[in-house]
Amino acid sequence: MTGTARSLAPLAGAWKQAFHLATNGSGSYGKGLNLARNGAVAQIQTQPGRISAPVAAKKATHQAAIHVPELTAAQWDTLAAKLADDPQAVADLVANRIPATIADSGHAGGISIAPPADGITFSCSCPTGRTHRVCDHSAALGHAVAERLAATPSLLLGARGMTARALAAHVRDLVDGADPGPLPADTNGTVRATQLYALAAHRPPQPPPDLDLDAVSNLTWSDPPLPGPRARDLMWMTTDAAARARTVLAGTAAAPHDELADILRILASPDGADHLEAAQHATGIPEATLRAMMIGYRHGGPAGAHATLAATPATIDVLEWARETVHASRAVGLGTITIDGSALTDTTAGVQIRPGPDGRWYPFTLWRADEWRPAPGACDDPAEAFRAARRARAARPLRR
């Protein structure tokens, strides 16, 4: 990954979060991810308020679209003014590059290029999409946008109402006294020296950094050094960092990436139980729940841990569809499946399945009283996840 891609990664992350929330727990989220990974999404087109692309399915190619709200003229003015005060952002725009500043709303005048979740809507030429509900094809488009944002952030700029070139011209006009001439007509990434000289010559003076260079310390050369990490801890941190680097470089790191997932990753390691007390203090989660989440992490990664803590909210339509799918597969046996919050529960058999944040269904078995323990076998198909729960239940009788 290039430096530019890394610096724009927060923009892709913000889009992923908003897009995932906009799907409202639909099973199409996971199915769309599979389509996107299989290259079903063709060339993506953008226009103000709309991102669209042809998406190839099994029997036909559908025209999927995602609709986002455009930024107002006042919001674009605020963003341009903030960029004009950043010399690096101005230089990037002059060079036909998207400045990394726009990836962070905190440094972009509070303006977020990623749209809010409640402003994202879907449409498609398929029957589901014609009712303006998320379908497999529009979900695949959303995943493809997330994948391509780090390399092509102008996707969201155009959809939010302004091209990268128009934004560059707007910022250039705001630079006090600068007249760098027309934008470069040369190869992307080149900058004329005269333009940079003009920008530098007309920049307002920058305030000196607030540094205390005369800091006084009472330590002397003969004082012992401050204690550092133990050798065992350093070795553990090095091993953990190397393992994380391998998964990131291999592209196999599982979502969601958050602080809780990092804590569970450490707890699920061979010596992780030693850190339970610290994890409980940091998260406020009871030890028994953390132990169950450790098991969920080992079975299903970060998404499995999150599903153990709480089922991902799902609409009643999704839950009814999942219940009908399980009944149709005859995986239920003689039990009755009830909808319990966002989970499907068979109290007779002592099994349950829950939707996870990655769109898969996670199996659970009744451990004792109302305590559910995660089981292996998470799957996009709720019927298969239910079968996995029954297999685990048969292998692990109810404890009393």
Residue 248 has pLDDT above 60, yes or no: yes
With cut-offs at 50, 70 and 90, classify the pLDDT of residue 368.
confident
CA pair distance 45, 389, nearest whole angstrom: 43
Section 164-173 average pLDDT: 83
With cut-offs at 50, 70 and 90, classify the pLDDT of residue 199.
low
pLDDT mean across residues, the chain: 82
Q: Which residue has the tokens 């999404």?
A: 41
Same-domain pairing of 20 and 47: yes
Q: Would you tell me how many other CB atoms lie within 10 Å of the CB of residue 293?
A: 26
Same-domain pairing of 297 and 320: no
Same-domain pairing of 363 and 302: no
103 lies in a domain? yes
59 lies in a domain? yes
Domain span at residue 286 reads 255-309
Same-domain pairing of 166 and 193: yes
More confident residue, 79 or 184: 79
DSSP category for residue 59: S
Residue 400 has pLDDT above 50, yes or no: no
Same-domain pairing of 53 and 80: yes
Same-domain pairing of 158 and 261: no
Among residues of the chain, what percentage have pLDDT more than 90?
28
Section 13-35 average pLDDT: 90
Same-domain pairing of 195 and 109: yes
More confident residue, 292 or 109: 292
270 lies in a domain? yes
Q: Which of 174, 201, 228 is the last residue of a domain?
A: 201
224 lies in a domain? no
Q: Which of 309, 325, 347 is the last residue of a domain?
A: 309
Residue 298 has pLDDT above 80, yes or no: yes
- Report pLDDT for 183: 47
Same-domain pairing of 270 and 380: no
Same-domain pairing of 296 and 338: no
248 lies in a domain? no
10 lies in a domain? yes
Q: Which of 201, 225, 242 is the last residue of a domain?
A: 201
3-class SS of residue 19: helix
CA pair distance 355, 280, nearest whole angstrom: 25
3-class SS of residue 373: strand
Same-domain pairing of 127 and 49: yes
- Report pLDDT for 214: 64
- Phi-psi category of 207—alpha, beta or left, where left has phi over 0 and alpha has psi -120 to 50? beta
Residue 275 has pLDDT above 90, yes or no: no
Tell me the β-bridge partners of 52.
45, 65
**pLDDT digits over 78-103, tens only?**
888 888 887 777 877 777 777 777 76
Section 33-43 average pLDDT: 91
Same-domain pairing of 133 and 279: no
Same-domain pairing of 186 and 284: no
Q: Which pTM value belongs to this model? A: 0.45
108 lies in a domain? yes
- Report pLDDT for 398: 54
Number of domains observed in the structure of the chain: 3
Residue 186 has pLDDT above 50, yes or no: no
- Report pLDDT for 47: 92
CA pair distance 96, 183, nearest whole angstrom: 8
Q: What SS3 string covers 133-153? A: CCCHHHHHHHHHHHHHHCCCC
